[in-house]
Amino acid sequence: MGGTPLVELSRIRDALGLDGRLLAKVDYLLPGFSKKDRAAKAIVEAARESGELANGQTVVELTSGNMGTGLSIVCGVLGHPFVAVMSEGNSEERARMMRALGAEVVLVPQAEGSRKGEVSGADLALVEEAAQRITEARGAFRADQFAREGNSMAHETGTAPEIWEQSEGAVTAFCDFIGSGGTLGGAARFFGKKGVRCYAVEPDQAAHPIQGGGYSMPDLVHLDGVHLAGTETVSGAEAASHARLMARMEGIFGGYSAGANLAAAVRLLKDKEKGGCVAFVVCDSGLKYLSTDLWE
């Protein structure tokens, strides 16, 4: 669960007339088709080593589908029953994939007024309540990607050093769409020592189709003490159009958040990071969005 390719998007750069370089870290090629595999492995291994997670003990986690897929794989390999708790607003491919990997999937109805395909903070709060109840009822270990150090550490010791080495130290900026904040927080801790400027990517409004983030969570602990150079806001339409651009022009089949990251990286090269080298993560696979309007 690591060592993914770093691909230079020279075709997109040339087509858009950008001054600089775009580098995409293709984490959708991990076994669970998303960057969350790294965090899943790190959290479970740390808990087993510390004794907090006993052999055969059940693992429970709130997920939009990607962390749950990673945990399905890790728990299946290491012999832990896994319960994924997810909003009904997420794409159905995610639930099917987790079940195929051996997970029990609990789908939580959305909050009143929420739309299918757009998971709000209110929806996520209902999922959190359900995850807490199930964890207590089953005496389970809560993976808690929003709080456990293994999440950001996986990216501080894995993703960011890989990007730095693969780019031969050429990266001048990094951006990432905020879900749990683990990728951006971990990467920023590594990149900050290298003088690389790091930017948060967020949706431009509360209701958006970019699954896996933009929840306005109150406690993004993975970003505590991290210096960020700024924030780029991206619309759902921009995320979709850039995901399609990356698929058609570079052959990289990413999802909404990957499109959001590309949109932000393009904007940075046009302005604040003009002439630089901007890296971002292709967070998950476009295969997880076939039931959505992303590819229509």
Residue 287: what pLDDT?
Answer: 94
Asked whether residue 95 falls in the same domain as residue 56, the answer is yes
Q: Which of 88, 117, 142 is the last residue of a domain?
A: 142
Q: Is 1 within the bounds of a domain?
A: no
Asked whether residue 264 falls in the same domain as residue 166, the answer is yes
Going by pLDDT thresholds of 50, 70 and 90, the confidence category of residue 216 is low
Asked whether residue 158 falls in the same domain as residue 254, the answer is yes
Average pLDDT, the chain: 95
Residue 72: what pLDDT?
Answer: 98
Asked whether residue 116 falls in the same domain as residue 52, the answer is yes
Residue 218: what pLDDT?
Answer: 56
* CA neighbours closer than 13 Å in the CB half-sphere of residue 260: 29
Q: Which of 115, 142, 169 is the last residue of a domain?
A: 142
Q: Is 280 within the bounds of a domain?
A: yes
Asked whether residue 184 falls in the same domain as residue 99, the answer is no
Asked whether residue 27 falls in the same domain as residue 40, the answer is no
Residue 185: what pLDDT?
Answer: 97
Q: Is 279 within the bounds of a domain?
A: yes
Residue 138: what pLDDT?
Answer: 97
Q: Is 276 within the bounds of a domain?
A: yes
Asked whether the beta carbons of 237 and 256 are under 8 A apart, the reply is: no
In eight-state DSSP terms, residue 293 is S
Asked whether residue 207 falls in the same domain as residue 122, the answer is no
pLDDT tens, 140-162? 999 999 999 999 999 999 999 99
Q: Is 12 within the bounds of a domain?
A: yes
Angle between helices 66-78 and 92-100 (to 10 degrees): 0
Long-range pairs of 128-134 with CB within 8 A, sequence gap ≥ 24: 128/62, 130/85, 130/106, 131/60, 131/61, 131/62, 131/85, 134/60, 134/83, 134/85, 134/106
Going by pLDDT thresholds of 50, 70 and 90, the confidence category of residue 217 is low
Asked whether residue 168 falls in the same domain as residue 29, the answer is yes
Range of the domain at 17: 6-35+149-289
Residue 189, pLDDT > 80, answer yes
Asked whether residue 243 falls in the same domain as residue 253, the answer is yes
**Rounded alpha-carbon distances, angstroms, from residue 56 to 60, 76, 79, 125, 212:** 13, 10, 6, 28, 28
Mean per-residue pLDDT for 74-85? 98
Q: Which two tokens stand for residue 17?
A: 């007339």
Q: Is 196 within the bounds of a domain?
A: yes
Q: Which of 99, 122, 142 is the last residue of a domain?
A: 142
Asked whether residue 29 falls in the same domain as residue 165, the answer is yes
Contacts of 195 (CB under 8 A, 6+ apart): none
Closest by CA to 25, choosing from 147, 191, 150, 149, is: 191
CATH number at residue 81: 3.40.50.1100
pLDDT tens, 218-261? 578 999 999 999 999 999 999 999 999 999 999 999 999 999 99
Going by pLDDT thresholds of 50, 70 and 90, the confidence category of residue 296 is confident
Q: Is 94 within the bounds of a domain?
A: yes
Report how many domains make up the chain: 2
Q: Is 133 within the bounds of a domain?
A: yes
Asked whether residue 29 falls in the same domain as residue 161, the answer is yes
Going by pLDDT thresholds of 50, 70 and 90, the confidence category of residue 88 is very high
Asked whether residue 128 falls in the same domain as residue 230, the answer is no
